[in-house]
Chains A and B, each alone.
Chain A
Amino acid sequence: MLAFILRRLAQSVIVMLVVALIAFMVFRYVGDPIASMVGVDTRLEDQEIMRDRLGLNDPFYVQFGRFIGNAVRGEFGISYRLQQPVSQLILERLPATIELAFASALIALVFGVGLGVFTALKRGSWLSGFIMSASLVGVSLPTFLIGIGLIYIFAVELQWLPSFGRGQTVDLGFWRTGLLTESGLRSLILPAITLSLFQLTLIMRLVRAEMLEVMRTEYIRFARARGLSQRAIHFGHALKNTLVPVITITGLQLGSVIAFAIVTETVFQWPGVGSLFINSVQVVDVPVMAAYLMFIALVFVVINLLVDILYYVVDPRLRVDAAGGAK
């Protein structure tokens, strides 16, 4: 187990280095950093001095090494647009994105698994048929359209929920949370639903397919033949066996939820990392873009690692080489 985790950690480091290389190339070679920093009337000699002071004349690998060193310390330079350290900008906006992502992942997981199990067990009923058809909408409609639709219905027509922003937030020192105020919670509902809808339908269809598969297996028949209760069979024996693929997809989807919250954050004016990124793209704020790239890669790598560890927890067969030999 430990060897496995170490091996995966090593792989993760390699992945991060590759991403860092790409981020560095974007940072260094997309446009001229000096040109972005200075005005048009700066003299060429001054530009040259600046270039030298910033180390932009050093060999490639020295610059890359410096970039890595800074990145490890969480330093990605100063945002061109906002003239603040990039790491500080991202950290300020991270809580909003994390809260949104986890809220929608929670919705997707709870309803996805619940509805998936339901539609698998009540395969013939009209309600399952209805849910399955409705899920097609979730899969096929683009996120921004769903967001705009929800805003129109619940914010404009019914006026039940706010259409943009994060509401009031409470500063916990290291974390600005919107979960502790009523307006914050109300503001979270629409964007969280919007962001979750695609993952929800995906998880639901996956759970349903896996459940149908598992319900046909011999061990479920044997569990029935032993007279176990329906609940024990469906939720104990069947559901647990569907978990390995569900964990994989859910984990990767959680990464996507954070990464692709961009659209939802834009639609709902959510002050998260995604909207920071969009604003930075518009003005070619390269340090922010590079940092965002690194951040998203880190999220995916960490989640992948967690998913792999969860496999071990769920499926004892994978632990074979670790424990089986001793017994």
Chain B
Amino acid sequence: MAEPVLSVKNLTVQFPTRRGVLTAVDDISFDIMAGEVLGVVGESGAGKSMTGAAVIGLIEPPGRISGGEIRLKGERIDNIAPDAMRAIRGRRIGMIFQDPLTSLNPLYRISQQIIETIRTHLHVGEAEARKRAIKLLDDVGIPDAARRIDDYPHQFSGGMRQRVVIALALCAEPDLVIADEPTTALDVSVQAQIIDVMKELCRERNAAIMLVTHDMGVIAETADRVAVMYAGRLAEIGPVRDVIKNAFHPYTQGLMGSIPSLTTDLDRLLQIPGSMPRLSAIPKGCPFNPRCPKVFDRCRIERPDADPVAPDRRVACWLYPEVTPA
């Protein structure tokens, strides 16, 4: 089996606060292969964005990685010097943020921002960088890129700006792109285009994508595998088709059930009763136990780990006996 582009093992992110230490990401492990799209899905506060921030080394203090390791193509990157990490950001890991209206600096031309990024990471001259920047804008589907490159961000629409953001994330041809809710702030009509552009460009460059979103629809259409997070922990991970068709974890089942469908007729939308616990009050045992329809005694006492239960599938639930791979 080939080496994964990104390998996260037992990652834990904690925030010391006045009322004790909050654990935002709790002991999660996953791999992403080259060219693969891993969807990370969960409610707000489930720790999915925090996981992305941890991978690219941008957790805001006082938060910190307090355990586990992150490897990029086998090299550890969670404990390296800030300068070394900065050389990786943008160069080997690109990131796309949620809101294209705020992720570009309003006072600089698009050309300045792209050329600056290219020249930070690659040894090319101004003219060559500009040529590449125009090519990139062309690739992400900005019409008349050669002329529009010298415009300011406010002269573009939201969708166009997100294309610029994608161009910026990809301009040094990274191995991995972390897309944190890349379509959430956009019109529905533009969302699909943006996802297509992002996926297409990453496929051409054989870059892996970690797609963080709460939109199951986007995951279903885009991702190869999906990781479901709940209260900072990994609930379930597996190939997207299998997880959607045959969810194991009761939380995932609830999540799938709550997506309205045209083929079934319902009077009310299904929902999971209750809400996700605050980080300061995560229940003992399985964090989902107070809301789980299939809860039994063990769930309230012992915490389940995300263990393999079927080929390429892991789930953190006591309903499923661990299967040791042969």
A residues adjacent to B (C-beta < 8 A): 217-219, 221-230, 232, 236-237, 240-241, 314-317, 320, 324, 327
Contact = CB atoms under 8 A, between A and B. Distances in A.
Given A221-B58, A222-B95, A229 B105 contact: no
Contacts of A317: 106, 152, 154
Contact of B116 (A228, A314, A315, A320): A228
Interface of B: 56, 58, 86-91, 94-95, 97-99, 102-109, 116-117, 120-121, 148, 151-152, 154-155, 165, 168-169, 172
Contacts of B151: 327
Contact of A218 (B87, B94, B102, B120): B102
A222 B121 contact: no
Looking at A219, A224, A316, A320, the one whose CB has the most chain B CB atoms below 10 A away is A219
A239 B58 CA distance: 20
B58 A225 contact: yes
A217 B88 CA distance: 22
Contacts of A240: 107-108
A219 B120 contact: no
A307 to B, nearest CB: 17
Given A222-B103, A317-B152, 15 more contacts: A219-B104, A219-B106, A222-B95, A222-B97, A224-B58, A225-B58, A225-B94, A225-B169, A226-B90, A227-B90, A227-B121, A230-B86, A315-B106, A316-B109, A320-B154
Nearest to B117: A226
Main secondary structure, interface of A, reads helix
B252 to A, nearest CB: 30
A228 B120 contact: yes
Contact of B120 (A229, A241, A320, A327): A229
A89 B273 CA distance: 84
A316 B90 contact: no
A228 B58 CA distance: 13
Contact of A316 (B89, B103, B152): B152
Given A227-B87, A232-B116, A315-B107, A217 B121 contact: no
Contacts of A316: 106-107, 109, 152, 154
A230 B154 CA distance: 25
B192 to A, nearest CB: 23
Most chain A CB within a 10 A radius of its CB, from B102, B152, B172: B152
Contact of B105 (A223, A230, A327): A223
A234 to B, nearest CB: 13
A224 B56 CA distance: 10
Contacts of B155: 324, 327
Nearest to B106: A317
Most chain B Cβ neighbours within 10 Å, of A217, A218, A315, A327: A218
* Closest 5 pairs between A and B when the two form their complex, measured CB to CB: A227-B90, A227-B89, A225-B95, A226-B90, A218-B102
Contacts of B105: 219, 223, 237, 241
Nearest to B82: A230
Given A320-B154, A324-B155, A227 B88 contact: yes
B107 A241 contact: yes
A133 B172 CA distance: 45
Contacts of B102: 217-219
Contacts of A221: 58, 97, 103
Nearest to A227: B90
A229 B86 CA distance: 8
Contacts of B94: 225-226
A323 to B, nearest CB: 9
A279 B82 CA distance: 61
B89 A218 contact: no
A221 B94 CA distance: 12
22 contacts: A218-B103, A222-B97, A222-B103, A225-B58, A225-B97, A225-B169, A226-B94, A226-B169, A227-B87, A227-B88, A227-B89, A227-B91, A227-B121, A228-B116, A228-B117, A228-B120, A232-B120, A236-B116, A240-B108, A241-B105, A241-B106, A327-B151
